[in-house]
Structure formats: C-alpha cells, structure tokens
C-alpha cells in the first residue's frame, strides 16, 4: 500500500491544492491535462505532466483508460481523484486496484453504496439515521412515481438517484408540474450520470443545509470533524459555505456527528467523506453522502487546524489517524465563497471567455486554478476560485471576506463577484440564511450606474483613443485647427445607456453626462473624478466595441452602442430567440410553420451539465429554425425566429 508518486486525476484549484500538499509531504507529483489546460497552474506546479486528450471531459478527465495509461507511463503508484469527474466512480476505484495503484479515496463498495441515492437511503434507514419521507423504490415506471408522489404530497423533490451537484433535481410545488419535472430530471440525470433512475422526497422549503465532515482509517476509527453550513445555494449548488453553522449548538452538533459516523460505518467507509443533512427546527434528516473531498473543505481546515488532504494521504498509506475525537476542536469561524464565471442577473447562466486581468488578495486563503490568460470554456464547471476568510467570530470572518472580494479583480468575462458581496452584506445572511435565501433576499439585483462612473469610463476610453492616435500621428492627436477635440460616446454600462460628451483641451478634460459636467483626469491607472481618485483597470473584450472595466471596486462591461456586435442585445418580445450562452442543443420541440404561444419551451440547451429552456417570447408562427439536437451553438446565436401575431406585435415587449 506504500506509494511515493501521486498522480492527480483532476484540474483547476483542487489539482493545485492536492499537488501543493503532496509536494510539501515529499511525494513526487504528476498532473494530467486536456488540450485546453496545457498551460494550467496545476501543470506547471507538478513534477511531471501528461496530456490525456481534447477538451471534452469524456475524452480526457473522464477516461479511465487514459488516466491509468498516464500513471503507467510516469510510474505513479497512487491516484488522487480530487472532486468531480471520476472522484465518486466505483469503476475507477476498482480499475486502480486491478492495476496495483492506490486509490486515495474510499473502497469501491462504499462509493457504490452511497452513489445510488435510493439504495443509500435504505441503508441509512437500517442504520438508524433520520430520513425524510420519500420513495426510493426500484420500480421506475412513471405511473408508479406519480402514484407515490400523490401519497407524499407537495412540495416534493424529484432527484436523480445517481450523482449530485444539483443535477437531475427538480422542486415540484404544483402536482400538475410533476410529469414535466420527472421527464426533465430523467433527461438531465442521464446526461450527467448515465442513469435515469429517480427518487422522490418530501421537500422542506426553508431548511438549512448542514453537513458533517468525516474521516476514517482502515483500523476501525471514524471521526467527525465538525459541521459546515452550506445553505446559500443557486440551482441547488452551493455558493457560500461556513463553519461552524450559526444554527447548530453543541448538543445538536454532537447528535449530527454521531449520525454521520453511523452512516459512514454502515458502508465500512475509509478516507474523507461528507454526510449531508437538511436541518429544520433542530430536526435533521439524511440527504446524501459525498464519498470524496468537498469543494468547501477549506472552512473545516481553517477552524480545526487540520489538513484534510494530508490526512487522506496518511490513511491511503494504511496509517492510523493521528488524532482522536477528543482532539477535534473548533477555533473561530470561517466563510468561503465560490467565485464563478457566470451571470447572476441572467439566471446564473455560465460565462465563457479569457481571463484578461486577474488579481486576488494575499491576506486570506484563495484556492484557484486560473490566472491571467486562462481560458474558461463550456466543457467544465465555471468555478474560478474559492475565497476563504477566517476570523475570531462569524462577523469578523464576514467583514474580512467582503473586503477581500472588494480587492479582487477578474476581467474578461462576467463573474458573480458583486453578487457575492451583496449576499454577505444582506441582512438575511447575517440573521437567518436558509436554502430559500436567494428567493427571499431579492438577489441578484442590478446596481444603478452613477453618471460619474459613466463620465470616468468615457474619459478612459477617450484617453485610450488619443494614445492610439498619438502613436499613429505624434503631436496631432486631440487637436483640430478649429480648437480642442470632442468625442461623443453612447455607452451601454450595466444595462443602462449613457450619452457622454468628452472635451479635451489645454486646461484638461471635461465630460458631460446626463446634463452634468464632470472634470476628469486620467493618469496611468488612476482616474480623478471631480477631485476624487479612483483606481481602474480596463481590458478589451472579445467582441468589437466591448471593454471590461474595473473602476474602484466595481466590475463593468461597457459597450459602445455604435458598435454593438450583430446578434447581441435582442429585446425580449422580438420573436428572435437567441442562445444565452455557449452550449449543446439537446432538444428542439418546434418546426417551421408551427403555431406557438408565449412561454412554450422550444429549445433545450445544455451547458456545464445543466439544462436551460429557451421559451417563445411572443404568440405567433415559427418561420425559421436554426437548431438541431446535438448541435453546438455559440452565445447570441439565433435559434428560432417567430413571426408575431398582429395583436402581439402591438404590445410592449414582455419583461424579462
């Protein structure tokens, strides 16, 4: 069981995290990478790197054969799966064992037992772990599911029996929606996990999502290492995690910890794992067990002082755990946020592009696998980094994290950075954040753009244009024979349009916006607005006329309205349906000549293993269809065109 060379079968921040710890412990390390990750930070950090295929995960990170070939070629005698991809794949754990390679994770039997949610819940019931009412039967006929759902009543969760991460999951509040929810969950589950088996479960509408970290060795010791609160979620995927939970006292913590140990011991668990519960009114119910390291493990490390990856490697070597349950103590509070490439204002749709500017603070923990120049594609999860702050109490940690997010710069693509700040500063987060937080908080919200910001941006763009002109014709830029030069900008900033008139003369630059005149001076990376200095960063976007601006602590996408790219900015109600992001067409439910009504689902797109429905925005007749199942489409690609009925044409466009 002893090993000396560790291959990390993953990418991004978890690969960086594991490689760093392994190197510090004296192990040789091997990174694997797809073609698009050849220049990734984990590749440069490892002692050796092996290319394993193209960007598509099925042909690289999900290929057991290619990963084992890489291990054989480099002499790796252990594999750490990270999380995601093959981390919870029992066949992969078995293939490692057959090849004589140590799998840094639980036995294949434990992965298989907990990977099937239906079978896992039956096991947990036998072990005395509390469960919600539900159906986990083997009969998957739709009629049976509908009958069982009627017994349970609504609200109800329809969930994929395999996998996790919010995929293949639907909340049903109206029994009439159940058939569509079952169909959609099956389709998404098949695409994500290769199985369409579902379970039904009574839904709690305002629970907390609280999970217990467990660690077990092969000598019969299983420990619980405190809890994490992961209640703030979007699309059933975690956004903010913290330890300890503000809703858990010592007695409840002990009871949940003991239940988590019972769950792990029921499947002879070895290694790091997480037992997840739903908590409401001091009553907790088993949700699932993740048989791997979790994305949110840093908060546990910061409050316990333990290195979970180091413990994983020790256990995988066959060593007993070096601590007892009495040694586990909680120190202070830690909060983690997940910085995603996504657009919160547009349904949290994932974003793609190149990271053009990247800067993160160095006084909190930041786990990341990207940097300036990194390409974010639709092939993988859109998480860019985890920012984690530790403090003496919850409020201290929260303040540190808010400030750190304000000091973070990421430009070139849309992110949820501002949304994370709004979450942490929201009154509901500080008092009672449940899984209903996003729905109840009114977030995400659009922030109005101060006209002074628009003036500053116009001055920055004007200054860039002058610099470019000066490079072409030194001494002439900015002046005409009739006097000082002026430039007019029609800027789309943060969903608003501002008209700015910039006048550049010997006495400086003035910018008129919304009938107000601002005196602006641009010097290096500082713009002075009416006597106040604000730092800025500006980079060009991938599309003509688009720039990304960091002004103070705000990230803004700015488009010159005169050069908006074709296909962008199509108004709702125009009958022109475009792809909101890069993705794959999985279903087309309409043909040319067909009558449709506003709200009909016409096209289903899949991006990053999540489904997105494209709905008709007018009543009318379909005149063009430019999508077909299996087709890859780019953001803003026209999918369907509808000729609106006369009555619908006369109406105002529907609100988004």
Rounded to the nearest integer, the mean pLDDT of the chain is 90
**DSSP states along 295-325:** TTHHHHHHHH---HHHHHHHHHTTPPPS--G
504 pLDDT band, cuts 50/70/90, is: confident
Domains and CATH numbers, the chain: 5-104 (3.40.50.20), 134-202 (3.30.1490.20), 208-441 (3.30.470.20), 451-563 (3.30.700.30), 576-649 (2.40.50.100)
475 pLDDT band, cuts 50/70/90, is: low
pLDDT tens digits along 36-80: 999 999 999 999 999 999 999 999 999 999 999 999 999 999 999
The secondary element (H helix, E strand) that includes residue 74 is helix 64-74
- Separation CA 625–CA 607 (nearest Å): 20
Residue 405 CB partners (closer than 8 Å, separation 6+): 337, 387, 417, 420, 421, 424
Tokens found for residue 139: 């009969």
pLDDT at position 562: 42
445 pLDDT band, cuts 50/70/90, is: confident
Q: How many CB atoms lie within 10 A of CB 446?
A: 11
Whether the per-residue pLDDT at 561 is higher than 80: the answer is no
Tokens found for residue 268: 């002879």
Least confident range from 470-479, 534-543, 571-580: namely 470-479
Tokens found for residue 264: 């792990």
Can you give the pTM of this predicted structure?
0.82
Whether the per-residue pLDDT at 516 is higher than 50: the answer is yes
CA distances for 104 relative to 60, 217, 253, angstroms: 20, 12, 28
When pLDDT is averaged across residues 475-487 and rounded to a whole number, the result is: 51
Report the percentage of the chain scoring pLDDT > 90: 73
Axis crossing angle, helix 108-115 with helix 117-126, rounded to the nearest 10: 100
pLDDT at position 44: 97
User: At CA 418, angle to CA 416 and CA 419, rounded to 5?
Assistant: 60
Whether the per-residue pLDDT at 654 is higher than 50: the answer is no
pLDDT tens digits along 117-160: 888 999 999 999 999 999 988 899 999 999 999 999 999 999 99
Q: Which residues pair with 169 in a beta bridge?
A: 159
Whether the per-residue pLDDT at 544 is higher than 90: the answer is no
Residue 285 and residue 276 in contact, taking contact as beta carbons nearer than 8 Å: no
Whether the per-residue pLDDT at 363 is higher than 50: the answer is yes
- Separation CA 389–CA 510 (nearest Å): 42
Whether the per-residue pLDDT at 433 is higher than 90: the answer is yes
- Separation CA 212–CA 280 (nearest Å): 16
pLDDT at position 574: 67
pLDDT tens digits along 385-423: 999 999 999 999 999 999 999 999 999 999 999 999 999
Whether the per-residue pLDDT at 483 is higher than 50: the answer is no
pLDDT tens digits along 127-139: 999 999 999 888 9
Choose among 231, 141, 240, 236: nearest CA to 188: 236
């Amino acid at each position: 069981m002893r090993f000396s060379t560790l291959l990390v079968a993953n990418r991004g921040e978890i690969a960086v995290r594991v490689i760093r710890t392994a190197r510090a412990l004296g192990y040789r390390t091997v990174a694997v990478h797809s073609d698009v990750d050849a220049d990734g930070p984990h590749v440069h950090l490892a002692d050796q790197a092996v290319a394993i295929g193209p960007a598509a995960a099925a042909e690289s990170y999900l290929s057991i054969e290619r990963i084992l070939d890489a291990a054989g070629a480099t002499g790796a005698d252990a594999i750490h799966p990270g999380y995601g991809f093959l981390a919870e794949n029992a066949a992969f754990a078995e293939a490692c064992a057959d090849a004589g390679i140590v799998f840094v994770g639980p036995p294949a039997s434990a992965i298989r037992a907990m990977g099937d949610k239906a079978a896992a819940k039956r096991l947990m019931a036998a072990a005395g772990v509390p469960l919600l009412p539900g159906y986990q039967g083997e009969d998957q006929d739709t009629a049976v599911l509908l009958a069982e759902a009627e017994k349970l009543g609504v609200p109800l969760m329809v969930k994929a029996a395999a996998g996790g991460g919010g995929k293949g999951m639907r909340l049903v509040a109206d029994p009439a929606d159940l058939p569509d929810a079952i169909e959609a969950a099956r389709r998404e589950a098949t695409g994500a996990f290769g199985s369409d088996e579902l379970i039904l479960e009574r839904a709690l509408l305002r629970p907390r999502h609280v999970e217990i970290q467990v660690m077990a060795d092969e000598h019969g010791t299983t420990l619980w290492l405190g809890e994490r609160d992961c209640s703030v979620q979007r699309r059933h995927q975690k956004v903010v995690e913290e330890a300890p939970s503000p809703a858990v006292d010592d007695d409840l913590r002990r009871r949940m910890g003991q239940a988590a140990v019972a769950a792990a011991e029921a499947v002879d668990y070895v290694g790091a794992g997480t037992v997840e519960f739903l908590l409401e009114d001091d009553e907790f119910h088993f949700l699932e067990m993740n048989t791997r390291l979790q994305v949110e493990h840093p908060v546990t490390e910061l409050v316990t002082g333990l290195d979970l990856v180091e413990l994983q490697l020790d256990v995988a070597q066959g060593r007993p755990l070096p601590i007892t349950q009495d040694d586990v103590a909680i120190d202070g509070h830690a909060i983690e946020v997940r910085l995603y490439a996504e657009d919160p204002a547009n349904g949290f749709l994932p974003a793609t592009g190149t990271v053009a500017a990247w800067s993160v603070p160095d006084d909190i923990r930041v786990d990341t696998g990207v940097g300036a120049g990194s390409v974010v594609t639709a092939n993988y999860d859109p998480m860019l980094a985890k920012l984690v702050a530790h403090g003496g109490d919850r409020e201290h940690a929260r303040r540190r994290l808010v400030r750190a997010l304000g000091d973070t710069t990421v430009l070139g693509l849309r992110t949820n950075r501002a949304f994370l700040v709004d979450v942490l500063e929201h009154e509901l987060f500080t008092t009672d954040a449940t899984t209903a937080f996003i729905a109840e908080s009114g977030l995400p919200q659009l922030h109005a753009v101060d006209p002074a910001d628009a003036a500053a941006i116009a001055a920055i763009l004007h200054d860039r244009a002058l610099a470019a002109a000066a490079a072409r014709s030194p001494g002439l830029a900015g002046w005409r024979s009739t006097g000082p030069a002026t430039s007019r900008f029609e800027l789309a900033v943060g969903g608003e349009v501002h008209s700015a008139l910039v006048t550049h003369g010997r006495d400086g630059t003035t910018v008129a916006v919304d009938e107000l005149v601002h005196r602006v001076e641009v010097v290096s990376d500082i713009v002075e607005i009416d006597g106040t200095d604000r730092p800025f960063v500006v980079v060009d976007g991938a599309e003509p006329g688009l720039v990304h601006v960091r002004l103070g602590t705000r990230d803004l996408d700015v488009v010159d309205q005169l050069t908006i790219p074709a296909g962008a900015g199509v108004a709702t109600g125009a009958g022109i349906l475009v792809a909101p992001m890069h993705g794959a067409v999985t279903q087309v439910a309409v043909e040319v000549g067909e009558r449709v009504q506003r709200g009909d689902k016409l096209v289903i797109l899949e991006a990053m293993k999540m489904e997105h429905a494209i709905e008709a925005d007018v009543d009318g007749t379909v005149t063009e269809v430019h999508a077909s199942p299996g087709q890859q489409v780019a953001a803003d690609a026209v999918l369907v065109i509808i000729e609106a009925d006369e009555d619908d044409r006369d109406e105002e466009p529907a609100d988004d």
